[in-house]
Amino acid sequence: MRTMKKRLRKKYRVGEFRELCFKFTFDYKGDVESPECEQFLHDFISDCIEANGLNCEGNMTDEGCNICAFAEDPTQTNETQRQAVKSWLESREDAELKAMGELADLWYYVD
């Protein structure tokens, strides 16, 4: 079997073009409609996500937060960034980390 050409590896995001992410869930212990929650989200984005060179997407409801985080260059997402997010959430008294996923392929991730 022949090796896949660089053009195809890039198209299918495999090999050196593989993009990684990690997913995690946490509960905010206060009211999600409160000003304190807005401050928490501001701190989360600036001190945890952006400070570690990450982007994220997800949702926040009364039942909890579901987040997918990945580096600004998704091919560079690493375990150090994942551990930094985990440590930041565990250090907060106003949030409870429920689950922290391993690094996974951003395009071919299956829950």
Q: What pTM, to 2 d.p., does this model score?
A: 0.87
In a domain, residue 111? The reply is no
What pLDDT was estimated at residue 14? 86
Long-range pairs of 10-18 with CB within 8 A, sequence gap ≥ 24 = 13/105, 13/106, 13/107, 16/75, 17/75, 18/75, 18/105
In a domain, residue 86? The reply is yes
Find the radius of gyration of the CA atoms of the chain. 16
Residue type for position 10:
K
For the cut 90, the answer to whether the pLDDT of residue 15 exceeds it is no
In a domain, residue 98? The reply is yes
| Predicted confidence band of residue 61 (pLDDT cuts 50, 70, 90) | confident
For the cut 80, the answer to whether the pLDDT of residue 27 exceeds it is yes
Domain around 39: 31-105
Q: Say how many domains are in the chain.
A: 1
Residue type for position 85:
V
In a domain, residue 4? The reply is no
CA pair distance 35, 15, nearest whole angstrom: 44
In a domain, residue 21? The reply is no
